[in-house]
Amino acid sequence: MPITTPYQFSFNSQAFGGQGSAFQILSVDGLEGLPVIRNQDDNRGYADGMFTGQDFLGARTISITMQVLASGATSAQTNFNTLQAALLPSVTGTTPLYFYLPPAAGEQFIQARVRGLRTTVDPNYTYGLITCQVEFYCPIPLIYDSTLQTASMTIGGALGRVYPRVYPLVYLSGSAPFTSVLNSGWATTYPTITFNGPITNPVFGNFTQGQYMFFNYTFADVETCVINLLDKTVTLNGDPARNLLTATSTWLTAPPGTSQFYYYGTGTTGATSATITWRNAYI
């Protein structure tokens, strides 16, 4: 169920924090603010200073310190066992860490995996006041609103021209049936586009950013293609299909604000369709 209590967290269906909880949060470190920055700086050889390269966001590490208490007839030690069972490390993948921190309008999440759970057995532990620290590793540092936004994309007709020189040059007019993607966050978000044929050599683009993706393929009406712009993957009926993209294609993004997305191709019918989904993103 969505979190509606401020300052409450949930991971693997285990809630902690919030009024009346047996798992009281004392502090959260690493969630607010920037994660580690990955830079490409290099030294200037036999000279003072550095050459500045590009900066990228690294992974985010979140540490949550909490106190585990008794609840009714359930001892603090039993509650701590329940917490441990929900916070097991995973071999692969990530799990959403949900939370509600004002002034956000509602529930948000970040993809995480457990990297540590520590406590000390001392007199407080014996008396039912267990202090522990949980460490979450978040390979993607972006925070998302839980609400998934969806829009159907309207296919364009003979829109502009494509000049296949050594690479395809795409020229668009201002009459495209654009789909507005509003990212109300303050970080770039990466939508997912799902489309099905029939369509030949489709082009998907962000007119606002001047980005486009050109597919050199004829998709049948029984074929479904998914473009995951965050992971930079393309699948066709569930199988990898990045090879269908031309070499000059650029991966689309949706920075804060409104971006105008579009798509077009030939050989379409009334069964041809495309959907774009995204979430507001923060850092």
Task: Tell me what pLDDT residue 175 has.
Answer: 53
Q: Which residues pair with 218 in a beta bridge?
A: 200
- Record the pTM: 0.88
The domains located in the chain, with CATH, are 8-145 (2.40.30.200), 149-282 (2.60.120.860)
> pLDDT band at 164, cuts 50/70/90?
very low
Task: Tell me what pLDDT residue 226 has.
Answer: 98
Enter the DSSP assignment of 156: B
More confident residue, 97 or 159: 97
Q: For residue range 67-93, what is the model confidence (pLDDT) as tens digits?
A: 999 999 999 999 999 999 999 999 999
Task: Tell me what pLDDT residue 1 has.
Answer: 67
Q: How far apart are CA 6 and CA 102, in angstroms?
A: 7
Chain-centre distance for alpha carbon 216: 28
- At residue 178, the 3 state secondary structure works out as coil
Q: How far apart are CA 144 and CA 141, in angstroms?
A: 10
Q: How far apart are CA 47 and CA 43, in angstroms?
A: 8
Residues 145 and 177 sit within 8 Å (Cβ to Cβ): no
Q: For residue range 233-279, what is the model confidence (pLDDT) as tens digits?
A: 999 999 999 999 999 999 999 999 999 999 999 999 999 999 999 99
CA 209-210-215 angle, to 5 degrees, is 120
> pLDDT band at 172, cuts 50/70/90?
low
The residue among 74, 66, 63, 70 whose CA lies nearest residue 28 is 63
What is the rounded average pLDDT for all residues in the chain?
Answer: 92
Q: Which residues contact 232 (CB under 8 A, 6 or more apart)?
A: 242, 251
Radius of gyration from C-alpha coordinates of the chain: 24
